[in-house]
Amino acid sequence: MNGTEMELDWLKDFLALAEQKTFSRAAQARHVSQPAFGRRIRALEDWIGTQLFVRGAQGAALTPAGSHFEPAAHALLRGLERARRETRAAGAQDTATLSIAATHALSFTFFPSWVRGVMRTQTLGTLNLISDSMEACEQIMLSGEVHFLLCHHHPDAPTRFEPDRFESVRVGDDVLVPLCTPAAPGQDQGSWSLPGSCSDPIPYLAYSSASGLGRILESCQAEPPIHRATRFTSHLAATLTTMAREGHGVAWLPQTVAADDRSCGRLVRAGPEQFDVPIEIRLFRSLECRNPAADALWNFLSQPQIV
């Protein structure tokens, strides 16, 4: 066996390549150069002692060994992330009053201004914010590690929260808008126009299955039907925003995330408002993970004039 110690980044690289299926897209998703990404994949294969991917003109496909390793890689990363969260929580438990999980998109856009508004009238004490994908946030919430979960919500999209264990309140609104680069600088017309056609489908920048926004889009069928071909996948709205800004295709982005790009003309509509998806921003509460501060915040938010 190779004596080199395995690095955590190798696991993340492996899962990115398994999802993206090409070295170029996976390297972009991992924010490294393609040569460096390729060396790390080979280093992981050397460490394991067998080939994990078949390289070909169409991209990279998992070998039988790679398919066997994929669920173990997911489990290892989940276990490490949970151990980190629990250790962090143990270190902060003497000072943290409220623990809130929030999806990445809302952590960087909606949450700071929302919590600032709440703090004008409420004393929240020390906050512990955990930012992750919707899939990870759901698991954190279900395991009782946080008091609240802040996420985008649509009534047609499935969640893992049973009403008798979790309640929620709307704290804001958002809308998923199909956006792309302008056809020419300063123009309002996009480089692509929905709904596309069978012969000329729209290049689609998609959310992965770990994303709550991806679930929402999958549950909302557009009329007329959209003809699209997936070109890139990520669970991060910020990554899809960058890919759209660089001209790789059309992404349905939250207005809270894309507002600056739209105001500056870097991104424009790829279709009329009939293709927009209105969504809510909701705060979910666990009935099993409570303290006085969490109860006080919930009572405040549940007042009709606040909602």
Q: Give 307's pLDDT tier (boundaries 50, 70, 90).
A: very low
Query: What class does CATH assign to 8-77?
Result: mainly alpha
Give pLDDT, residue 159: 82
Per-domain residue ranges of the chain = 8-77, 95-173+280-301, 175-278
Q: What is the mean pLDDT of residues 63-74?
A: 94
Q: Give 306's pLDDT tier (boundaries 50, 70, 90).
A: very low
pLDDT beyond 70 at 90: no
Q: Could you report the per-residue pLDDT of 256-288, keeping only the tens digit for each? A: 999 999 999 999 999 999 999 999 999 999 887
Q: What is the mean pLDDT of residues 6-29?
A: 92
Give pTM, 2 decimals. 0.69
Distance, CA of 58 to CA of 66 (rounded, Å):
17
The token pair at 170 is: 């709307």
Please answer whether residues 28 and 234 qualify as being in contact, where contact means their C-beta atoms are separated by less than 8 angstroms: no
Please answer whether residues 157 and 219 qualify as being in contact, where contact means their C-beta atoms are separated by less than 8 angstroms: yes
Residue carrying the six token digits 């972009």: 28
Q: What is the CATH number of domain 175-278?
A: 3.40.190.10
Q: Is 60 helix (H, G, I), strand (E, B) or coil?
A: strand
**Mean pLDDT for the chain?**
88
pLDDT beyond 90 at 153: yes
pLDDT beyond 60 at 100: yes
Q: Could you report the per-residue pLDDT of 36-61, keeping only the tens digit for each? A: 999 999 999 999 999 999 998 888 99
Q: What is the CATH number of domain 95-173+280-301?
A: 3.40.190.10
Please answer whether residues 148 and 114 qualify as being in contact, where contact means their C-beta atoms are separated by less than 8 angstroms: no
Please answer whether residues 217 and 207 qualify as being in contact, where contact means their C-beta atoms are separated by less than 8 angstroms: yes
- Asked whether the CA dihedral 96, 97, 103, 105 is positive or negative, the reply is negative
Q: Give 216's pLDDT tier (boundaries 50, 70, 90).
A: very high
Q: Same topology for domains 95-173+280-301 and 175-278, yes or no?
A: yes
pLDDT beyond 90 at 164: no
